[in-house]
Structure 1
Amino acid sequence: MKKTITTEKIPLYLWLDDLEDGALLQALDLANLPVAFHHIAIMPDSHIGFGMPIGGILATRDAVVPNAVGVDIGCGMCSLRTSLTGLHPAQLREIMGLIRRLVPVGFQHHKEDQPESVMPALPDESSRLTPVSEREFAKARRQVGTLGGGNHFIELQQGSDGYVWIMIHSGSRNIGLQVAEHYHKLAMARTEARKEKGAVPKDLSFFRADDPLYHAYLAEMRFCIAFALANRKLMMQRVQEAVAAVAGDISFSGFINKPHNFADTETHYGEEVLVHRKGATRAREGEPGMIPGSQGSPSYIVRGKGNPLSFASCSHGAGRVMSRNAARRKLDLKAEQQKLEKMGVLHAVRGKRDLDEAPSSYKNIRKVMANQQDLVEIVTELKPLAVIKG
């Protein structure tokens, strides 16, 4: 941990020195939230978000804050080790071409419904509290197994253990967004009705546990988390098919899945609380995980240390050093491309619109990892070989 702030209702523990002003103000708002528990933890990749900093951890007593989970509910990472010890550039290009045909990216969806068997089941009708998920279920069958946009990616990596790895970053597509927006609006209305509007920033509006909407939101959130996992699993299956089609008879092992936009009931400091992680990953003692860099820097397979000061959490990536619009304005396309090509990475920076995902728009992942040595230990370093960006 790098810094402690004790000026607010509860302390803030920060794992970085350089938190931008906007994110700091959001963190201070969290520390003054009437339902916040014990302290606020801010990870080393943190930057400004909507209402709450990305890379923030908030524990609450008997309340849920939809915007402390975020709009891409269940967004997270998965990784898989192959039995390959390397791939030639020509093989990488062929694999990337196959993946692009098998996995829609950006706003694209499948042209046909995917098998219902790959979808998570809706809750039993007798206890169903998921009107938004039910409404969006049919559309989601064409979105499952698709990458989405923004910072989502599919990456082939060379591991320090001598093997080629696959890593995928994706979320719950439109269904998560619909659930998030629906319940955030309801939370704002509930918070205003409780006369808490002045004391609670609207972007941190919440449901108390005695409100039926508290349970409805959690049910919808859990379905979105399950859908996000199904989405990553189907993409991983398609990527495996592409790799095997080019590389031949190979095996895969060590699947890891880690959401980083979610809330879960956990016990901390002797109390049962709801821990919200927004752009943060759970890292209990011995728990495997992954922390990606940018497409021009290493990623890491890690093992958690269960540090109670972070609510047993760690960063979810490198974190942005500049906004998407700033990256497109300030970064030089040719320089960013040359940086990636010098590393030998088959990259996804093809035009100015891709500069928001260029390496220079992200923090130095090695510094981020150095700042959280008390949260995780590095198991395997993964260097990028080829990247598909949403």
Structure 2
Amino acid sequence: MKQVITTEQKPIKLWLDDIDNAALDQAKNLANLPFIFKHVAIMPDSHLGYGMPIGGVMATQNIIVPNAVGVDIGCGMCAVQTSMTEIDTNTLKGILGKIRMSIPLGFKHHSREQADWIHSCEASCKFIKDGIIEKEYKASLKQVGTLGGGNHFIEIQRGSDGHIWIMIHSGSRNMGLKVAKHYNDLAIKMNEKWFSSVPKKWELAFLPLDDEIGRAYFTEMNCCVEFALTNRQRMLDVVKKIFKENTHGNVDFGEMINIAHNYAAVEKHFGEKVVVHRKGATRAFPDQTGIIPGSQGSSSYIVKGKGNPDSFMSCSHGAGRKLGRKQAQRELNLKAEQERLDRLGVLHALRGKKSLDEAAGAYKDISVVMENQSDLVDIDVELRPLAVVKG
């Protein structure tokens, strides 16, 4: 931990010393919520978000805040070790080409419905009558197994363990967005009806979990988390098949690692059952395996959690942005960013000025981020990028 702020109703514990003022103001808003539990934890990759900073962790008592989960519910990472210890450039290019042909990227969906995904998440995917999941289910059958845009990626990496790895970052697509917006709008209306003391401008409208609408959001949120997992699994299956095709079947795969970084969960901390919101943060329970990605020009990490109670057993979800998307497009030099990746030997996704929002220069130094959270996780494997597909 780098510092503790004690000027608000509850302390703010920070794992960075360079948080921007706008994100810090959001953290202070969290610390002044009437239902906050113990303190607010801010991870080392933190930056400005909607209502709650990305890289924020907060626990509440019987309250759930849709904007403290975010719009891409269940967004997260999966990674798998391959049996390969070497891969040449031509093979990489062939794999990238087939991935782009086989997996819809950006706003694209499948042209035909994919296999039913409900069986993989029966515990949480109970259709709420007239709920968002029920309305979006048919459309979701064409979205499952698609990457999306923004900072989502499929990356092939070389591990410090000597193996080639596959990593995928994606979320719940349009379904998560619809669920987030619907319940945040309801929360705003309910808070106005209750004359809530939480200012509307904070963008932290809340729902009690003992209320029907709060329970409905919690159910549909969990369904989005499971849909996002299924989405990553489907893409990973396709990538593994492409690896087999491009290596004459001479490749095996380890067990998939999966971790989400936008969700809320009921957990026990400091002896009490609370609702832990992780927005751009992941679980780091004792000995739990996690994934912390960098940018397409820096290392990613397979980690083991230390179960630090001060962070509510959490860690960062990545490197974190240091430049906003529009700011990166204005300020970064395309040629310089391309040359940086070329020197590293990365088959990258910087095609034009618009893609600069995902250049390495738009992100914080992942080595500093990892150093700042050495009390939260241990590094198992360092992964260096070889080839990247972006949405």
Is the structural similarity TM-score above 0.5?
Answer: yes
Q: 5+ residue gaps in structure 2?
A: none
* Corresponding position of 2:159: 159
Q: 5+ residue gaps in structure 1?
A: none
Moved more, 279-288 or 190-199: 190-199
* Corresponding position of 1:296: 297
Distance apart, 1:209 and its partner CA: 2.5
Identical columns (%): 54
Matches within 5 A, 1:39-58: 39-58=39-58
* Corresponding position of 1:74: 74
Distance apart, 1:254 and its partner CA: 2.7
SS at match of 1:176: helix
Query: What code does the residue aligned with 2:385 have?
Result: P
Q: CA separation of 1:200/1:125 partners in 2, compared to 1, >3 Å: closer, same or farther?
A: closer
SS at match of 1:41: strand
* Corresponding position of 1:376: 377
Matches of 1:307 and 1:125, distance apart in 2: 31
Q: State the aligned residue count.
A: 390
Contact 1:29 1:201 in 2 (8 A): no
1:105-155 CA-to-partner distances (Å, cap 9, x unmatched) read: 000000110011576456799884671001000000000000000000000
* Corresponding position of 2:91: 91
Matches of 1:306 and 1:386, distance apart in 2: 33
Query: What code does the residue aligned with 1:271 have?
Result: E
Moved more, 355-364 or 197-206: 197-206
Alpha-carbon RMSD: 1.5
Distance apart, 1:194 and its partner CA: 1.2
Matches of 1:43 and 1:119, distance apart in 2: 35
Matches of 1:206 and 1:299, distance apart in 2: 34
Contact 1:129 1:220 in 2 (8 A): no
Query: What code does the residue aligned with 1:302 have?
Result: V
SS at match of 2:16: coil
Contact 2:304 2:378 in 1 (8 A): yes
Q: CA separation of 1:202/1:126 partners in 2, compared to 1, >3 Å: closer, same or farther?
A: same
* Corresponding position of 1:188: 188
SS at match of 2:268: strand
Contact 1:118 1:234 in 2 (8 A): no
Segments ≥4 residues shifted beyond 3 Å: 117-130, 197-202
Query: What code does the residue aligned with 2:219 have?
Result: A
Q: CA separation of 1:310/1:129 partners in 2, compared to 1, >3 Å: closer, same or farther?
A: farther
Give TM-score scaled by structure 2 length.
Answer: 0.97
Matches of 2:17 and 2:125, distance apart in 1: 49
* Corresponding position of 1:339: 340
Matches within 5 A, 1:135-146: 135-146=135-146
Query: What code does the residue aligned with 2:314 have?
Result: S
Q: CA separation of 1:191/1:352 partners in 2, compared to 1, >3 Å: closer, same or farther?
A: same
Matches of 1:112 and 1:25, distance apart in 2: 45
Give TM-score scaled by structure 1 length.
Answer: 0.97
SS at match of 2:231: helix
Q: CA separation of 1:92/1:126 partners in 2, compared to 1, >3 Å: closer, same or farther?
A: closer
Matches within 5 A, 1:1-390: 1-117=1-117, 120=120, 128=128, 131-196=131-196, 199=199, 201-248=201-248, 249-390=250-391
Q: CA separation of 1:163/1:6 partners in 2, compared to 1, >3 Å: closer, same or farther?
A: same
Contact 1:78 1:167 in 2 (8 A): yes
Matches of 2:166 and 2:361, distance apart in 1: 23
Matches of 1:170 and 1:112, distance apart in 2: 20
Contact 1:188 1:202 in 2 (8 A): no
Query: What code does the residue aligned with 1:250 have?
Result: V
Q: CA separation of 1:202/1:19 partners in 2, compared to 1, >3 Å: closer, same or farther?
A: closer
1:347-370 CA-to-partner distances (Å, cap 9, x unmatched) read: 000100100000000000000000
Distance apart, 1:192 and its partner CA: 1.2
Query: What code does the residue aligned with 2:182 have?
Result: H
Distance apart, 1:157 and its partner CA: 0.2
